[in-house]
Amino acid sequence: MAGRKGLKIVLFAVVPVLLIGSVAVLGKLGIVPIPGLSPTKPKALAGAAALYGEPKDAKTAPVAKKELPKPKPKPAETPLDLDTGAKKVAKLWNEIETDRLVKMVATWPDPDLARILTKMNLEKSTALLAALDPKRASKLSEEILKQASVVAQAP
């Protein structure tokens, strides 16, 4: 009985240890490829260097720089015709009551508002200026004067 017990110990304890140990040794020698354990093969590197005409002592090849894709050009912005826009807004504003129009133009920039006022009906634009705060009406009148004084250049 003692012989069988010893045989079981050998089979279940010693044989797996020997197998794992022998595989590890073979991996370390490079006979069995094990990632992280097997050494790299210097012959393959030397053969690649000879194949591509590189010196044998070159360990790493220079990496080619990747060119970044060129950004696509943005489409050109469409030029705006401010006078045509002002005429269309003036045509709409001519039909709106002055009280409502005063509330609408409260946040408009003076140069834009002055451009539209010059395109509106004379009675409507004067009624709007009269309904606005006197300081703002004065600034708008100066802006209208400035815009009306621009001399058109010949093309």
* Position 26 in a domain: yes
* Position 23 in a domain: yes
* Spatial contact of 154 and 122, defined as CB atoms under 8 Å apart: no
What are the start-end ranges of the H helices in 70-109? 82-93, 98-104
Selected residue with higher pLDDT from 154 and 82: 82
**Per-residue model confidence (pLDDT) at position 91:** 95
Residues 86 and 142 in one domain: yes
Residues 94 and 143 in one domain: yes
* Position 136 in a domain: yes
Residue range 52-97, pLDDT digits in tens: 665 555 555 566 677 778 888 888 888 888 889 999 999 999 999 9
* Spatial contact of 37 and 27, defined as CB atoms under 8 Å apart: yes
* Position 3 in a domain: no
* Position 69 in a domain: no
Residues 96 and 140 in one domain: yes
pTM given for the model = 0.50
> How deeply is 150 buried, as exposed, middle or buried, from its count of CB atoms within 10 A (0-12, 13-18, 19+)?
exposed
Residues 40 and 91 in one domain: no
Torsion angle in degrees (nearest 10) through CA of 34, 35, 37, 42: 100
* Position 45 in a domain: yes
Residue 31 has pLDDT above 60, yes or no: yes
**Per-residue model confidence (pLDDT) at position 122:** 93
* Position 90 in a domain: yes
Residue 44 has pLDDT above 60, yes or no: no
How many C-beta atoms lie closer than 10 Å to residue 138's C-beta?
Answer: 12
Domain of residue 123, residue span: 82-148
**Per-residue model confidence (pLDDT) at position 141:** 94
CA distances from 129 to 15, 34, 98 (A): 106, 89, 10
Residue 75, token pair as written in the block: 């489409």
Residue range 83-134, pLDDT digits in tens: 899 999 999 999 999 999 999 999 999 999 999 999 999 999 999 999 999 9
* Position 38 in a domain: yes
**22 vs 32: CA distance, rounded Å:** 10
Of the pLDDT bands very low, low, confident and very high (cuts 50, 70, 90), residue 6 is: confident
Residues 42 and 94 in one domain: no
Domain count for the chain: 2
